[in-house]
Chain A
Amino acid sequence: MIYFDNAATSWPKPDAVPEAMARFLRECGANPGRSGHALSIQAGRVVYEARERVARLLGLDDPLSVAFTKNATEALNVALLGLLAPGDHVITSVMEHNSVLRPLRHLEERGVGVTRLPCPEGALDPAAVARAITPGTRLVVLGHASNVTGALAPIGEVGELARARGILFCVDAAQSAGCLPIDMGAMNIDLVAFTGHKALYGPQGTGGLCLGERARGKLRPLLRGGTGSASDSDTQPDFLPDALEAGTLNAVGIAGLAAGLAFVEERTVEAIRRHELALTERLLEGLRSIPGARILGPGAAARRVAVVSFNLEGQSCSEVATALEERAGIYCRAGLHCAPLAHRQLGTFPEGAVRFSLGAFNTASQIDAALEVVRELSVSAKGA
């Protein structure tokens, strides 16, 4: 079996991840912060350690400004619905995932102005962001890397621009946290939404929102409820992380996430990036040599994360994905990848594309084996 669906969720996980989760449940599975006994304290320490690891990885100055959520989608909803009000203006791109597009559509129907910048060939021009700014622009929100083409957004340039204009900048790091260097401070990013179950190698049900200094105190919470703090009041606390973490956290998931983060830290983001870049180059080069294969997105691997989508002439993406699984046990994802505007931009709507997404555990021989099967499929289509 060859697993090429890491952009949906990474697999396998490092052994330390399920081990940490089992250990948490067996040895300290109490509520992290609702009681004062030793098990509760131990559970709290596990959660705090995960905050520290997230902050360190993303260049955030304060671990208490990491608010855990169940995934990047929830984190983006917390950011977008918490920050934007009728009359505000927000800039985004057509390459975004529905986790950005749908909350923004919802807000647009309630009086928020939304500019969705086109991205010819899937690439965003930072000058287009500058031109779209109005006096009412409150936020720019962009995916760091497209989940369809893998293309990198010009985060550095946009961050600088947003900071200079006094506009908050939110980055959807669902496809990049753990496999691309991120430094919120150096890159002028005010909010990062991350997921735990992709390139951080944690379990599903984990993610979070990191708030830089300029974003703190500006979000209305999405949920209100128990926090274990200020218990004498029926008003939601205004301090982080409690303000954005109502209800008991997924502490067992966060224990697994901390182990995934430790794996990434130990291996280093830079080494993971080098490994994935080499595999992506090999995959792109191989696909380019297959007649009838149309690759979406940038030609250079350095301008993507390890995500490569393609189509084979004369075949639907779902046929190709099914054949890949049936012939060689290659697991990938076909379709629109929850990014309808990106596929419209790329001319692949509504058919979609086949997506190979790689991770730290994939190998060059897996790439070669998959390319061999794609080549066979291409030849058989021609012969048909």
Chain B
Amino acid sequence: MSSCDAETPYGVVLFRSVQAALAAEKILAGEKIAHKLIAVPRHISSNCGFCLRIQWADREAVERLLPAEKLGVEGIVPL
């Protein structure tokens, strides 16, 4: 376990488009992976839309489930 895991249980998935974040939300809901749409934290990105908060421990599953190119995933970073 990295130090990140110990300190921050959450991560956020960043998308280039708000509508893509909503598409991803439906995928994660279908797979019963805990998530929440939240405003993009200013310290992470200057975009004015929202991103998906996930359990940091789920990040690899999330990476597998979301088609990164199609949804324009810009990254998964610890919160």
A and B held together in a complex: yes
Interface: B18 (CB within 8 A): yes
Closest A residue to B47 by CB, please name it: A231
Interface: B75 (CB within 8 A): no
* Contact digits for A40-62, partner B, Cβ 8 Å, 1 yes 0 no: 11001101100100000000001
Pair B17/A48 contact, Cβ less than 8 Å: no
Q: Which of A36, A239, A242 has the most CB of B within 10 A?
A: A36
Pair B23/A229 contact, Cβ less than 8 Å: no
Pair A40/B16 contact, Cβ less than 8 Å: no
* Contact digits for B23-42, partner A, Cβ 8 Å, 1 yes 0 no: 10110000000000111100
Pair A64/B20 contact, Cβ less than 8 Å: yes
Main secondary structure of the interface of A (DSSP, over half): loop
What distance in Å separates the Cβ of B35 from its nearest Cβ neighbour in chain A?
12
What distance in Å separates the Cβ of B61 from its nearest Cβ neighbour in chain A?
22
Pair B48/A231 contact, Cβ less than 8 Å: yes
Pick the contact of A44 from B16, B19, B38 — CB < 8 Å?
A: B19
CB within 8 Å for A64 and B48 given contacts A35-B39, A48-B22, A239-B72: no
Task: Kindly state the interface size class of chain A when it binds its partner.
Answer: 20 to 34
How many residues in B have their beta carbons less than 8 Å from beta carbons of A?
22
CB within 8 Å for A229 and B47 given contacts A237-B17, A239-B17: yes
What distance in Å separates the Cβ of A64 from its nearest Cβ neighbour in chain B?
6
Pair A36/B23 contact, Cβ less than 8 Å: no
Give the distance in Å from the alpha carbon of A47 to the alpha carbon of B21 in the complex: 12
- In the assembled complex, which residues on chain B have CB atoms less than 8 Å from the CB atom of A63? 23
- In the assembled complex, which residues on chain B have CB atoms less than 8 Å from the CB atom of A41? 22, 37, 50
For window 292-339 of chain A, which residues contact chain B by CB distance below 8 Å?
A: none
- In the assembled complex, which residues on chain A have CB atoms less than 8 Å from the CB atom of B49? 33-34, 36, 228-229
Give the distance in Å from the alpha carbon of A255 to the alpha carbon of B26 in the complex: 18
Pair A231/B22 contact, Cβ less than 8 Å: no
Interface: A359 (CB within 8 A): no
Interface: B46 (CB within 8 A): yes
What distance in Å separates the Cβ of A54 from its nearest Cβ neighbour in chain B?
13
Pick the contact of A64 from B23, B25, B47, B50 — CB < 8 Å?
A: B23
- In the assembled complex, which residues on chain A have CB atoms less than 8 Å from the CB atom of B18? 32-33, 44, 228-229
- In the assembled complex, which residues on chain B have CB atoms less than 8 Å from the CB atom of A47? 19, 22
Give the distance in Å from the alpha carbon of A32 to the alpha carbon of B20 in the complex: 12
Pair B46/A48 contact, Cβ less than 8 Å: no
Give the distance in Å from the alpha carbon of A47 to the alpha carbon of B20 in the complex: 12
What distance in Å separates the Cβ of A47 from its nearest Cβ neighbour in chain B?
7
Give the distance in Å from the alpha carbon of A51 to the alpha carbon of B19 in the complex: 9
For window 59-79 of chain B, which residues contact chain A by CB distance below 8 Å?
A: 70-72
Pair B22/A45 contact, Cβ less than 8 Å: yes
Interface: A37 (CB within 8 A): yes
Give the distance in Å from the alpha carbon of A23 to the alpha carbon of B47 in the complex: 29
Give the distance in Å from the alpha carbon of A62 to the alpha carbon of B37 in the complex: 21
Give the distance in Å from the alpha carbon of A64 to the alpha carbon of B23 in the complex: 8
Interface: A364 (CB within 8 A): no
Give the distance in Å from the alpha carbon of A240 to the alpha carbon of B70 in the complex: 10
- In the assembled complex, which residues on chain A have CB atoms less than 8 Å from the CB atom of B20? 64
Q: Which of B19, B20, B23, B37 has the most CB of A within 10 A?
A: B19
What distance in Å separates the Cβ of A294 from its nearest Cβ neighbour in chain B?
49
Pair B16/A239 contact, Cβ less than 8 Å: yes
What distance in Å separates the Cβ of A321 from its nearest Cβ neighbour in chain B?
43
Cross-chain pairs A/B with CB under 8 angstroms, 12 sampled: A35-B39, A36-B38, A36-B49, A36-B50, A41-B22, A41-B37, A64-B17, A227-B17, A229-B49, A231-B46, A239-B72, A241-B17
B interface residues with partner A (beta carbon < 8 Å): 16-23, 25-26, 37-40, 46-50, 70-72
- Interface contacts beyond A64-B70, A228-B18, A228-B49: sample of 8 additional A-B pairs, CB < 8 Å, sorted by A: A34-B48, A40-B50, A63-B23, A228-B48, A232-B47, A237-B16, A239-B16, A241-B17
Give the 3 A-B CB pairs with smallest separation, nearest first. Answer: A36-B39, A33-B18, A48-B22
